[in-house]
Structure 1
Amino acid sequence: MDELDHQRFYASEQYLLPADEVETLRLNAQHRMAVKAFEGKLSLAPLNFKSGDRILESAAGTGIWALEFFEQNRNQGVLLDIECIDISDRQFPRNYPSNVHLSIHSVTELPIEWNGTFSYAHQRLLVSALNDTLWRKAISELFRVLTPGGWVELVEIEGEDLHYDIGPFSTKLQAIFRNVYVNNGHSGALAAYLPPLLKETGFVDVQLESRRLLVGKSGENGYRSDELGKFFSGLKRNVLNGAGFGFVQTGEEYEEIVQGSVSEWDANSDKAWVAIYTILARKP
């Protein structure tokens, strides 16, 4: 790896993206984009909370969703107790309400004392983290810690049916991206994969809503080209670990492809797009 790669922090081998300040800024921008895509709603679940209800946010990252969700409910007179977990605390916020708790845990192995304690669980964007075995563990654990009648909401971006390829650079980048997922045993087709798994685990009322995030220079209709470029730059470790999959040999060559893709998206705004899904399910 080149010197720049050593400056980035990765929390695990399994999770493909970094957990550092650069990624924190990208995640917060992506949060705003995802909320906007779903008409400004932090949740699509049919929720009816009372003060004291416990909420779980899995893969909390920077905690931005939990903080906004807590504030939204507090403004409505409801004080929630929110447990935020992630495999790393590097991106946790420094200041947060006393009713919001931050801890290092994996959704694949939640504390046994959390059995049946959460009214609602929210998890976003683990497409770059879990393979089939881990997804099965995660869904089982989420089912276990929910109260009867509790909802789970999974927000994911499509990682298999891709539409980034609008020029030679982005076509090559899309092919590299597919290889990264296959090489790490990840399934990108979560819209097809997760609903049956939720039902198999015992969830009912499984629903899916999708939106299309367009890619362009302004990001008005979805992803800003350079923000999507930052996502792909974050995958450099895994591209190099895969010996470039026959497309590149060095980090510099990979970055040239990323930057070339950004230029193609800038010049052809809203031709490339990304699918984002919200999948809801209820524990009976």
Structure 2
Amino acid sequence: MINSSGSHYALPSNSSRETGRLNLQHRLIIKAFDNKLLLAPVDLKPKDRVLESGAGSGIWVLEFWKEYSERNIPLDIECIDISKDQFPSEVPSDIHFSLCSILDVPLEWSDSFALVHQRLLVAALPRPLWHKALAQIYRVLKPGGWVEFVESHAKVRKFVVGPQSKKLSLISDRMFDEKDYVGDTEVYLPPVMREMGFVDVHCEGRDIPINRSIDDGLDRVQIWYDLWKGFKGSILAGGGYGIVSSEEEYEALLLDCRDEWVKSTEAYTTYWTIIAKKPS
């Protein structure tokens, strides 16, 4: 949810179902990254400014704020998104939510943030807009500040474990090609970031199995199924990309895919954390 018009974002931004899915996905990601909310080696001090881009429901930032508050390190946090539909109704006084795009951040924010955090915009930013977003992030970071992205790997389809999930993979590939999304941010972004002046660029990946058999209280197959259900509107708007021709066909395909994922111990997805620093 990052473009000022919202037209580039392939998932819904205004449903309670999507908010619930994102919050469950948050739990998966945090668990995969050793129960850490942040990997960047930033040394935050009281009153440092933090920017959360694409804040959504605010689940990450609220947990991050609580963690630092318990360490007696109060932070000044700005949370931006192009939709306010998922914003929490009540937040601490030092967390500020506003309608804003990372492509057009206020000039008065230049050189002011110790940390910028952004997650899961792989289906929101076409390739040229990543360059613009990175330039804006570089501008608002103060010297020595860190940026951390968390993105899913979408170029190699590791969830393909049968003929139906192969069809879904073809739909996904064609949608990404049409919209010029970057499916391998962990490969694409680091050299672009270095060219812009970022230093200490580092990536870490984690594989997350898509199988309900893991005993952690999270129905991973359902979370994955709900993600693809969220793409339904964009896929149908693209004519089904030559694989499906109606809502009924797409939903039937998803049910068949879910059956394949439930039976498989091989299906998984990969999340990457990409961190970098603005030189001091």
TM-score range, shorter chain: over 0.9
Spell out, residue by residue over 1:31-78, the C-alpha distance to the aligned partner (whole angstroms, 9 max, x if none).
Answer: 111010100000001121111100000011110000000000000010
Q: Secondary structure at the match of 2:210?
A: strand
Amino acid at match of 1:232: W
Amino acid at match of 1:94: S
Other-structure match for 2:274: 279
Spell out, residue by residue over 1:139-168, the C-alpha distance to the aligned partner (whole angstroms, 9 max, x if none).
Answer: 000000000000000110001111111011
**1:180–1:239 CA contact under 8 A, matched in 2:** yes
Spell out, residue by residue over 1:68-117, the C-alpha distance to the aligned partner (whole angstroms, 9 max, x if none).
Answer: 00000000010011100001000001111000000011111101110011
Taking the aligned partners of 2:268 and 2:245, their CA distance within structure 1 comes to: 28
Q: What are the within-5 Å matches in structure 2 for residues 108-187 of structure 1?
A: 108-187=103-182
Q: What are the within-5 Å matches in structure 2 for residues 202-281 of structure 1?
A: 202-218=197-213, 220=215, 224-268=220-264, 270-281=265-276
Taking the aligned partners of 1:38 and 1:153, their CA distance within structure 2 comes to: 13
Other-structure match for 1:13: 7
Aligned residues: 273
Taking the aligned partners of 1:223 and 1:111, their CA distance within structure 2 comes to: 40
Instruction: Work out whether 1:33 is the aligned partner of 2:28.
Output: yes
Q: Secondary structure at the match of 2:30?
A: helix
Other-structure match for 1:3: none
Taking the aligned partners of 1:92 and 1:220, their CA distance within structure 2 comes to: 31
Other-structure match for 2:62: 67
Other-structure match for 1:86: 81
**1:214–1:223 CA contact under 8 A, matched in 2:** no
Taking the aligned partners of 2:219 and 2:30, their CA distance within structure 1 comes to: 12
Higher mean displacement: 259-268 or 112-121: 259-268
Q: Secondary structure at the match of 1:39?
A: coil
Amino acid at match of 2:17: V
Cα 1:263–1:234 change in 2 (3 A) is same
Cα 1:223–1:145 change in 2 (3 A) is farther
Cα 1:218–1:82 change in 2 (3 A) is farther
Q: Could you tell me how far 1:218 is from its partner in structure 2?
A: 3.9
Aligned partner of 2:90 among 75, 81, 95: 95
Taking the aligned partners of 2:253 and 2:90, their CA distance within structure 1 comes to: 38
Q: Could you tell me how far 1:12 is from its partner in structure 2?
A: 2.2
Q: Could you tell me how far 1:249 is from its partner in structure 2?
A: 0.7
Task: Name the TM-score, length of structure 2 as normaliser.
Answer: 0.95
Q: Secondary structure at the match of 2:60?
A: helix
Aligned residues: CA RMSD: 1.3
Q: Secondary structure at the match of 2:180?
A: coil
Cα 1:220–1:131 change in 2 (3 A) is farther
Amino acid at match of 2:9: Y
Identity of matched residues, %: 43
Taking the aligned partners of 2:223 and 2:119, their CA distance within structure 1 comes to: 18
Amino acid at match of 1:183: E
Structure 1 gap segments, 5+ residues each: 1-10
